[in-house]
Amino acid sequence: MQLSDSTSIRRLLESGGFTFKKSLGQNFLIDPTVCPAMAEAACDEQTGVIEIGPGAGVLTAELAKRAKRVVSIELDERLRPVLKKTLSGFDNIHLIFADVMKTDLKKVIAEEFADCKKITVCANLPYYITSPIIMMLLEERLPIESITVMVQKEAAERLCAEVGSRAAGAVTVAVRYYAKGEILFSVPSGSFMPPPKVDSAVIKLNICDTPPVSVKDEKRFFSLVKAAFAQRRKTLCNTVSNTLKVEKSVLQNALSEMGLEATVRGEALTIEQLAELSDRLW
Ligand code: SAM
């Protein structure tokens, strides 16, 4: 079956009575140039790839053409007969019908990719759950080299922003702690069926061997980061003292010792400064 032809995919979905579920973030790619470019960026013949949400299998097929093996995890059982048809020509794809958030990916990697030189993740992510999936992939400290994913353009800009810039948020710092991100290319909403309301972008997060900062207590560091960005209009002192119940004077002293104004906002701090502040507070 010609997977780069959107008419055949549309016909196949329609013939099985498939209807798109917005609640599952089902916007399928119909632009024939996007999936090959994503797959090129994500893998080579030595790679084991985890794909999240194969949909009709368009990206899955491009990954399978280039990778050693692809494990593809799909929540929607209704796509089983569709994927059986679209991926019938490949013998290096294992489909798992499950919620990726409830899947033991360490086990999947150990069982499926023992003979692969590297492991990556590639997906056109369901938008309702983009950040939780990315954070789960990073926090699990899976033995993966990179994550190449399609996300909404605004999310791409935030995830890949420079920490200390206005575009940064708590998720930017969290991502930067584990990886270095780059935006590879933009994808207009017309490249999807049905088209989402906003444009998208493909980003690549290259996982770092060690975090760019070392902190005494990771949990406390991340709770400080979350608090620092919780109320963007407030000063860091106000939002952190309210959220984490730290005395304002303690915060002001710590900031002053670091050469920072008491009125500084969370978004102005670099990851090194956030790490130092966390270590000074606890
Ligand atoms: N890869 C296909 C493409 O590019 O055309 C489909 C991408 S669509 C944006 C997201 C896919 O993720 C859908 O197939 C949806 O059913 C699936 N999905 C949604 N939530 C999921 C979850 N928690 N675990 C696994 N798959 C999920």
Could you tell me the pTM of the whole model? 0.95
* Candidate of 9, 51, 52, 87 to mutate for ligand 1, largest count of ligand atoms within 8 Å of Cβ: 52
pLDDT at 233: 86
pLDDT at 120: 98
pLDDT at 6: 81
Tokens of 5: 């032809």
Instruction: Calculate how far, in angstroms, residue 73's C-alpha sits from the geometric centre of ligand 1.
Output: 8
pLDDT at 117: 98
For 150, phi then psi, to 5°, come to -90, 130
Q: Do the Cβ atoms of 222 and 233 come closer than 8 Å?
A: no
Question: Measured between alpha carbons, how far is 60 from 208 in angstroms, rounded to an integer?
Answer: 26
Q: How many CA atoms lie within 13 A of 263 on its CB side?
A: 0
What is the gyration radius of the CA atoms in the chain, in angstroms? 21
Instruction: Calculate how far, in angstroms, residue 17's C-alpha sits from the geometric centre of ligand 1.
Output: 18
Please work out whether the CB of residue 26 comes within 6 Å of at least one atom of ligand 1: yes
Instruction: Calculate how far, in angstroms, residue 124's C-alpha sits from the geometric centre of ligand 1.
Output: 7
pLDDT at 222: 96
Please work out whether the CB of residue 76 comes within 6 Å of at least one atom of ligand 1: yes
Q: Are strands 69-74 and 93-97 parallel, antiparallel or unpaired?
A: parallel
Question: Measured between alpha carbons, how far is 65 from 276 in angstroms, rounded to an integer?
Answer: 46
Neighbouring CB atoms inside 10 A of 147's CB total 27
Question: Measured between alpha carbons, how far is 67 from 40 in angstroms, rounded to an integer?
Answer: 9
For 134, phi then psi, to 5°, come to -60, -45
Instruction: Calculate how far, in angstroms, residue 83's C-alpha sits from the geometric centre of ligand 1.
Output: 12
pLDDT at 136: 97
Please work out whether the CB of residue 100 comes within 6 Å of at least one atom of ligand 1: yes
Q: Do the Cβ atoms of 85 and 54 come closer than 8 Å?
A: no
Average pLDDT of each block of 10 consecutive residues along the chain (282 residues)?
79 92 96 96 98 98 98 98 96 98 98 98 97 97 98 98 94 97 98 96 97 96 95 92 93 96 95 97 90
Q: Do the Cβ atoms of 67 and 92 come closer than 8 Å?
A: yes
End-to-end CA distance of the chain: 60
